[in-house]
Structure 1
Amino acid sequence: MMNKTVLSILLTASVVSVAEAQTKLVEKVTRQGDELVIPYTKYKLPNGLTLIVHEDHSDPVVHVDVTYHVGSAREEVGKSGFAHFFEHMMFQGSDNVADEEHFKIVSESGGTLNGSTNRDRTNYYETIPSNQLATALWLEADRMGFLLDAVTQPKFEVQRETVKNERGQNYDNRPYGLVYEMTSKNLYPYGHPYSWTTIGYIEDLNRVNVNDLKNFFLRWYGPNNATLTVGGDVKPEEVVKLVEKYFGSIPAGPAVQDMKPQVAKLDKDRYVSYEDNIRFPMLRMTFPTPESGHKDEPALDVLAEILGQGKTSIFYKNFVKEQKAMQASVYNSTSELSGEFSVTVMAYPNTPLAQSEELARKSIAEFETRGINDEDLQRFKAQAESSLINRMASVSGKVSQLAYYETFRNNPNYIQEELKRIQAVTKEDVQRVYNQYIKGKPAVILSVVPKGKSDLLAKAVNYTISKEGYTAGADEYSGLKYTKAVDTFDRTQRPTSGKNPVVAVPDYYTGKFKNGLEFIGTNSNELPTVTLQLSIKGGHRLEAKTPEKAGIASLTADMLNEDTENYTSEEFSNELDKLGSSIRIGSGSSETYIMVQSLKKNLDKTLALLEERLFRPKFTQEDFDRLKKQQLEAIANQATQPTAIANNVYSKLLYGEGNIMAIPAAGTEETVANITLEDVKQFYNANYSPSVSQLVVVGDISEKELTGKLDFLKKWKKKSVQLPADVKTPAVEKTRIYLVDKPGAAQSEIRIGYMAKPYDATGEYYKLGLMNYNLGGAFNSRINLNLREDKGYTYGARSYFSGSEYVGPFTASAGVRADATAESVTEFMKELTDFQKNGIKEDELQFMKSSIGQADARQYETPYQKAGFLGRILEYDLKKDFVKKQTDILQNITKQEIDALAAKNLPVNNMHIVVVGDKQTVLPKLEALHYEIVELDTDGNPIGSTSAK
């Protein structure tokens, strides 16, 4: 069993203003044998801050997480969105950290960072090289204790616009983006902490002022309402000293009490609805269930899986398999105060949702006759174990788990209890929760239908939100005072960094079977797992031989996920789930890929299933008809999505008529309609060959042990596959704006660029990545700081080069406010032109070198990161010293070289500018710019041209 000691040892504080301050060591947990546990040491500072330290020297990285026990549930009616808004403000500088410096300092240190907000908590986190720990703690402490004087009205206004852009991009303008909001406000009573969503309402964001926001900070952001978790290449005693120094003098905030569960209660079915710019009508039925951590949570999770998760589920059988819906799923999701058991059906176009509801109710009732069997529990428990282990693949994953368990269970080692709860679920438990929470119980039934299709509603709206019974909570915000820490050291001084950690490129082995299959692998015993990636070259590009059947590579890959000679797809899925393994097959522009994830103990059985899936597909007419229908519907649906339209039109302009890459990888309605089952069989037989395949293996397995298990791949019959050569793309005659009308769109999608270069690990392509970093490759890049942080036009803007073995484009892109479309185009082109003419600044050059140079510590941490790294070596035939060569290039590149690269590779007068937005809103201002405007339809065909004014 684990070793858990609870101690009352007092450690003398290092440098804090209060001499008698002492830090208490609460407990130390270590691993015993092979048990699933994350070792840690837990401390409590006198100001109430909880500190958890996890020591792990497997990679020279550190993850720092500060979780505040405050989310949108702590907000007031009429002031929604505060918790999330404040998350944004926490990146806008503090007393000793200038505006926009937080991102810059962490990026320059080779780290990555972000924050997130949900109903119940807000967290801020950095992953950094281990020599930068003091810097990360200094940054987090400065905004915990020294923020408010730096919160100004101008910063407040810019971030208000950014949050509104985020709401527009992720909620208002995203298909089905308001489902969660509509469900929440109709499921919970008026004023319930979960009756609004984390993003908040626009009217509330418009109403609040900067003092409201400051009060929110003073009430909830004290160290006594926070957990600081540090994990990775650290020693606990050193972390304690740094935390005492930087956090110890910050005064505690007002006391914070845990909120009590407030589960929703319904007396009858509530039918609600809204219309959206969508193709597929959606039905969402939501039943109230208990909160996270409740004894019934695991059994409800099992019930949801039986009803609607995976190919063994009732809903898959009745809806998807029978072609009654594109998708159908059931999930039990829980939060601190309440849970929600949700049934979601995405029906085919013009399907009355009353039919979907009727079949959903029959499918739920079918559980009573189907019952629950041993395999159901075996599947659930195996997948739960696998999920918990895979979450521990990175130090950030382990830190996040510890922080979550401490915040919501007051026990960082709750993973042990989690496992016990999962293993203890019985058939009787599942039957009981079905009867208690689902059978015959009322739900919120939401219909989302295409605009103008109210005839498809499940039922007419029968519920109106009422304020009856609502009483405002106690005033949490009167008499709050801002008291700063008093220190005995100079907090304005940024900590110095130790020596950069030495990062070892993973040691790897390579080989080749007689049939031409190449493999590469590395032995890593950090987790008892094995990850395999099999890449079969070709993909969408192979369709150049038969462009009239574009989409066949994608359809063939999908067919391989269905029935095999010895298993139905349901039986196959059942076998995989019982192992806690996964095998996924998909197709991209230049390859078909097979991803395999397995616990080491189940690898042999998983590989046997891989052999079955890869070499013995059944290719039934029934599967083909269903998947072809789904692919055609997905293609038709893209015509409603501004992002998809922008990407497709942009590709058509880049690659030109006659190039297979000008056609989406999924094909078009015309090309997919041409595909037959026989075509799929021929594509598989002709193009799936070891001679164009590469295997990457990462995990707890040696080369000798691995190759002994791969006889089925050694016997794979070799075929002659001719991979297509690159096709010359049309030159851009001059920079024009191509406008696609999306009536009513509140945001516009912008793509700017041209065809640039193929990938090269140590040539000009690599150097172009260095050149672009300051232009649009980092959060602190010129483009993002201008359009997001300075102007508030967008939630994010960037630029990048994306070459492969084939020539790829340079692209600058963003989703922007409709009323700022022309201004955004202007700012994009201004930044591109300035960089092309004047190049990089000296401080930017040093920032780029420092940031990219120190980022190596984060490159090879997880199995997927290692697999990606090894895959590139194999794909591009890279030498073992290529990383060293990249480092040499980075360290020695000069301003003159960067400037020359920019002058040559940013042809601002020869780029396509694609704008997808509401023509009525955006055209007048676009016409005022000095570009010819060509109007296109959603397929990229010209419908008109306007000269610049």
Structure 2
Amino acid sequence: MVNKTVLSMILTASVVGVAEAQTKLVEQVTRKGDELVIPYTKYKLANGLTLIVHEDHSDPVVHVDVTYHVGSAREEVGKSGFAHFFEHMMFQGSDNVADEEHFKIVSESGGTLNGTTNRDRTNYYETVPSNQLETALWLEADRMGFLLDAVTQPKFEVQRETVKNERGQNYDNRPYGLVYEMTSKNLYPYGHPYSWTTIGYIEDLNRVNVNDLKNFFLRWYGPNNATLTVGGDVKPADVVKLAEKYFGSIPAGPAVENMKPAPAKLSEDRYVSYEDNVRFPMLRMTFPTPEAGHKDEPALDVLAEVLGQGKTSIFYKNFVKEQKAMQASVYNSTSELAGEFGISVVAYPNMKLSETEALARQSIAEFEKRGVTDEDLQRFKAQAESSLINRMASVSGKVSQLAYYETFRNNPNYIQEEIKRIQSVTKEDVQRVYNQYIKGKNAVILSVVPKGKTELLAKADDYTISKDGFKPAADEYSGLKYTKAVDTFNRSQRPSSGANPVVAVPNYYTSNFKNGLKLIGTKSDEIPTVTMQLSIKGGHRLESNNPGKAGVANLTADMLNEDTQNYTSEQFSNELDKLGSSIRIGSGTDETYVIVQSLKKNLDKTLALVEERLFRPKFTQEDFDRLKKQQLEAIANQATQPTAIANNVYNKLLYGEGNIMAIPTSGTSETVENITLADVKNFYNNYYSPSVTEMVVVGDISEKELMGKLNFLKNWKKKDVKLPVAAKTPSIDKTRIYFVDKPDAAQSEIRIGYMAMPFDATGEYYKAGLMNYALGGAFNSRINLNLREDKGYTYGARSYFSGGQFAGPFTASAGVRADASAESVTEFMKELTNFHKSGISEDEVKFMKSSIGQADARKYETPYQKAGFLGRILEYNLSKDYVKKQTDILNNITKKDIDALAAKNLPVNNMHIVVVGDKKTVLPKLEALAYDVVELDTDGNPIGSSSVK
């Protein structure tokens, strides 16, 4: 049982302000034995702020999270998007933190940060080295108590444009991006807190002013509506002292009451639709269900899994397996006020969604005959346990869990209740919720069809949103006053950080098997899991032996996820899910990868399934035909997506005709059409070999214990695999713009770059990465500050080097507003040219060294981070002290060195510029720039005439 002590001690702060604050120690939770619990201490400050501290000294890092119990549900009709908008404004400076300094301070402290908004809460967080705890708390407190005078009209306007760009990138310009918005506004009554999405409507963003936004902050962002959660390499007493110092004097805001659950109610089915720039019609059925935390939630989760999650599900069998759809899934999604039971089917082109709906209803009805089995419950419970454990892999994961439970359950230790709820679900519960919420019940039925293909609708629209019965919410915003804290210390002085923590590079062991397989591993017992990664070298590059069948590596990997000699894919999936394990096989540019995740207690059974999957594939014609069809459809679909078009055209220009890297890893329609089942078998038989395989193991297992479990890999027969060498890439005689038309695109995709160099951990590649940090690698880089923060052209812009064993490109990229496409190209090239000619500033050198130098504390925390680190050592044959060598390079590199790297590695007169966007909007302004413009089709082939300067 959890040791939970409830205390009523009063702690007195001595540094908090004009009146001494009192902090109440509420409870302390510790772990006993192997129980699943996150230990913490909970406090309440006098101003209502809840403080939770989790102590964990396994890594020298600290995660700080401030969760405000306000999301888009607190907004008003006509003023949507405020909570999310404020997420942006909270990074724009406060009284004691200058504009754009929040990101810079955390970055140069070696940390990472962000913020997120959903319907019900907004959170802001930093992960920093433990010596930067005070800085993180100072930053968060300053924007909680000293923000509004820094919220100026110019900042407001720039961030309004940034939010519009985010909406364009993630909603308007993304396939199916408006599905959630369309569902929400038709599922809930007009004015319901969930009837709009967190991003808000453009017309609302255009309508609001800076004072509206300030009032929203004053109403909801007080300390009494917030939870401060701190976890990691800290002592609770120290955190309390700092929290009292920086947060204790901030006045409480207006009282906040929890909103009451308000699930949707439908008197009949509602058919709605919209046309989108997509290839596949989509059907989305949404049934109202109860809110998060309701007693029926776990049973509805089981029902969703049985109906449409994984290969054992009814929808997979009836839709995907029978080639009636590309994808089919069912989920139960819950929020604070309501839940939604959603069914999504992405059908094949020209499929009538009326037929899709009919089959969906048949599949729902099939549940009644099938029922719920003991194995269904076993699968659900095992996966839920595994998920909860894996969330504890990082201090950020544990802090996020504590913050969520406190905000919505008023109990940071709700994980114990969660486990009970999961373990107590019965077959009768699942049958009951099916009858109560799904069987014969009404739904919103949304059809998304390709433009001009309304004949594919499930049914003509029959629902119009009505404002009948809508009553505006009571005024929450009159009489609000901005009162700042009064302190006895100088808040404008940034806290000192002390010495950097000592970071221990993971100790590891290596082994070379007789068959050539190389292994590297490390023991990590923070959570009872084991992570394994096998990398079989070759991947897409091996297709250079037969480029007419490009895509075969990808198809082979997909086939390995299907039937084996002893299991159908459904049976295999069932066995895995019962263990709470996962085995994923995929293929990329340079490798085929096998990623294995298992609880320690189930490792033997999981490894038996790895052996089955890797060495006993069945390769049936039926599986092959289905997967080949899906791959061909996915390739065709890329022609509808500006991001995919830009990447494919850019790679074709970089690598040139005849180079396998000029072809996407999925292949082309022509090459995949050529692939047969025999080709897949040959690729597997010829190229899957231990002689080109590297294995990484991280987890709660010793080297000795592990080696006794790997005989199936030691006995893997070696084959003679010759890996390809890099083909020569074409030179670039001068910088040109290559333009691809994407009619009516709301945004343009930009790629700028050239073929640079291969990876080198301690050579010019590493040094070029240091050079690029200030140019386009950090949030506060020149490129991002210019295009996003200063101009409002984009949601984000960056530049990077991406070499591997072979040379890779330097790329600068962004998705930008269509009407600012030419201007964005100009600004990109201006920043690249200035850096090429004039180099870096001394301040930027200092920032880069501080940021990268202190980031080591975050590098080795999670199993996946450790695996990535070890994998690089193996792949590039790095010495044990390579991290120290990198540190020496970082410490000793000078402005002169970086200027020389910029002059050499930013050939601004010899780069490709690719722009994918709406021709009528974008092309005339591009042609006015001082570059030749070449028009290409979506496959990268020249068309029409070029504009030559």
Is 1:393–2:393 an aligned residue pair?
yes
- Alpha-carbon distance in 2 for matches of 1:8, 1:375: 46
The match for 1:217 is 217
Aligned to 1:920: 920
Map residues 6-155 of structure 1 onto 2, 5 A cutoff: 6-155=6-155
Give yes or no for contact 1:929–1:948 (8 Å, CA) kept in 2: no
Quick check: 1:539–1:588 contact (8 Å CA) kept in 2?
yes
1:277 is matched with which residue?
277
d(CA) in 1 for partners of 2:89 and 2:935?
40
The equivalent of 1:325 in structure 2 is 325
Q: Residues 835-892 of structure 1: CA distance to partner in whole angstroms, max 9, x if unpaired?
A: 0000000000000000000000000000000000000000000000000000000000
After superposition, give the CA deviation of every residue in 1:461-500 in whole Å (9 maximum; x if it has no partner).
Answer: 0000000000011100000000000000000000000110
Q: Give CA deviations for 1:231-260 in whole Å, capped at 9, x if unaligned.
A: 000000000000000000000000000000
Contact 1:928 1:948 in 2 (8 A): no
Q: Within 2, Cα distance between the matches of 1:946 and 1:151?
A: 46
User: 2:805 is matched with which residue?
Assistant: 805
How big is the shift at 1:944?
A: 3.0
Residue pairs, 1:412-427, within 5 angstroms: 412-427=412-427
Q: CA RMSD in A?
A: 0.5
Aligned 1:224-303 pairs, distance under 5 A: 224-303=224-303
Q: How does 1:451-600 map to 2 (within 5 A)?
A: 451-600=451-600
Following superposition, the deviation at residue 945 of structure 1 comes to: 3.8
> How much does 1:506 deviate?
0.0
Equivalent pair of 2:18/2:488 in contact (CA under 8 Å): no
* Contact kept in structure 1, 2:21 and 2:244, CA below 8 Å: no
After TM superposition, list the pairs within 5 Å mapping 1:316-465 onto structure 2. Answer: 316-465=316-465
Cα distance in 1, alignment partners of residues 756 and 131 from structure 2: 37
For residue 907 of structure 1, report the CA deviation from its aligned partner: 0.3
CA contact (8 A) 1:171 1:177 kept: yes
Contact 2:735/2:908 (<8 A) preserved: yes
Q: Counterparts of 1:923 and 1:588 in 2: how far apart (Å)?
A: 34
- Return 5+ residue gaps in structure 1 as ranges: none
Q: Secondary structure at the residue paired with 1:733?
A: coil
Give the superposition deviation at 1:947. Answer: 3.0
Matches within 5 A, 1:773-788: 773-788=773-788
The alignment's TM-score, normalised by the length of structure 2, stands at 1.00
Counterpart amino acid of residue 750 in structure 1: I
The residue aligned with 2:738 is: 738
User: Conserved in 2, the CA contact under 8 Å of 1:932 and 1:945?
Assistant: no
Residue 911, structure 1, aligned to residue 907, structure 2: no
Letter in 2 for 1:844: E
1:623-667 deviation per Cα after TM superposition (whole angstroms, max 9, x unaligned): 000000000000000000000000000000000000000000000
Secondary structure at the aligned position of 2:258 is classed as: coil
Q: Match of 2:349, SS?
A: coil
Conserved? CA contact 1:799–1:810, under 8 Å:
yes
Going from structure 1 to structure 2, the CA distance change for 1:424 and 1:184 (only over 3 Å counts) comes to same
- One-letter identity of the residue aligned with 1:437: Y
Aligned partner of 2:845 in structure 1 is 845
**Cα distance in 1 for residues equivalent to 2:843 and 2:634:** 47
Q: Which amino acid aligns with 1:90?
A: M
CA contact (8 A) 1:930 1:948 kept: no
Asked if structure 2 preserves the Cα contact closer than 8 Å seen for 1:61 and 1:130, the reply is yes
How far does residue 219 in structure 1 lie from its aligned partner after superposition?
0.1
* 3-state secondary structure, aligned to 1:720: coil
Task: Give the residue type in structure 1 aligned to 2:539.
Answer: G
Deviations 1:895-926 (A, max 9, x none): 00000000000000000000000011011111
- Are residue 649 (structure 1) and residue 628 (structure 2) matched? no
Residues 281, 348 of structure 1: 8 Å contact kept:
yes
Question: What aligned pairs does 1:134-213 form with structure 2 within 5 A after superposition?
Answer: 134-213=134-213
C-alpha distance in 2 between matches for 1:637 and 1:14: 63
In 1, Cα distance between equivalents of 2:19 and 2:747: 56
Residue 662 of structure 1 is matched in structure 2 by 662
Post-superposition CA distance 1:772-791 (Å, at most 9, x none): 00000000000000000000
State the alpha-carbon separation in 2 of the partners of residues 16 and 534 from structure 1: 54
- Counterpart of 2:197, as a letter, is T
* 1:717-769 C-alpha deviation (Å, 9 max, x unpaired): 00000100011100011000000000101100000000000000000000000
Query: C-alpha separation between the residues in 1 aligned to 2:932 and 2:462?
Result: 52
- Which SS does the other structure have where 1:66 is aligned? strand
Instruction: Return the TM-score normalized by structure 1.
Output: 1.00
Task: Name the amino acid aligned to 2:59.
Answer: D
Give 1:17 deviation, angstroms.
1.5
Write out per-residue CA displacement over residues 212-243 of structure 1, whole angstroms, 9 at most, x where no aligned residue. 00000000000000000000000000000000
Aligned to 2:603: 603
State the distance in 2 between where 1:151 and 1:14 align: 31
Q: 1:62 aligns to what SS in structure 2?
A: strand
In 2: Cα distance, 1:745 partner to 1:679 partner: 39
Moved more, 596-605 or 6-15: 6-15
> For residues 766-777 of structure 1, what are the structure 2 equivalents within 5 Å?
766-777=766-777
Q: State, as a whole percentage, how many aligned pairs show the same letter.
A: 87
Report what 1:866 is aligned to: 866
Kept in 1, the 8 Å contact 2:14–2:20? The answer is no
**Counterpart amino acid of residue 234 in structure 2:** V
Q: Matched residues in 2 for 1:176 and 1:592: separation? A: 30
For the 8 Å contact 2:324–2:348, the answer to whether it is kept is yes
Shift of the alpha carbon at 1:351?
Answer: 0.1
2:651 aligned with 1:671, yes or no? no
The one-letter code of the counterpart of 2:416 is: Q
The one-letter amino acid of 2:649's match is V
SS for the counterpart of 2:797 is: strand
- 1:948 CA displacement: 4.4
1:331–1:341 Cα contact (<8 Å) kept:
yes
The residue type paired with residue 32 of structure 1 is K
C-alpha distance in structure 1 between counterparts of 2:591 and 2:340, whole Å: 40
2:523 and 2:924 map into 1 onto residues whose CA distance is 60
Look up the SS of the partner of 1:526 in the other structure: coil
Tell me if structure 2 keeps the 8 A contact 1:160–1:205.
yes
Tell me by how many angstroms 1:13 deviates.
0.8
Within 1, Cα distance between the matches of 2:634 and 2:319? 17
Q: Is the 8 A contact 1:281 1:347 kept in 2?
A: yes
Q: Which amino acid aligns with 2:621?
A: Q
| 2:742–2:916 Cα contact (<8 Å) kept | yes
Q: Could you tell me how far 1:21 is from its partner in structure 2?
A: 1.6
CA distance in 2, matches of 1:65, 1:20: 25
Secondary structure at 1:946's aligned position in 2? coil
Structure 1 residue 82: Cα displacement? 0.3
User: Any idea what SS the aligned residue of 2:944 has?
Assistant: strand
Distance 2:752 2:44 in 1: 52
Distance 1:343 1:286 in 2: 6
Q: How many Å apart are 1:85 and its aligned residue?
A: 0.2
Task: Please tell me the residue identity of whatever aligns with 2:290.
Answer: P
Query: Matched residue of 1:337: which SS?
Result: coil
Q: 1:307, 1:581 → 2: CA distance?
A: 20
State the 1:14 CA deviation.
2.7
Length, aligned pairs only: 949
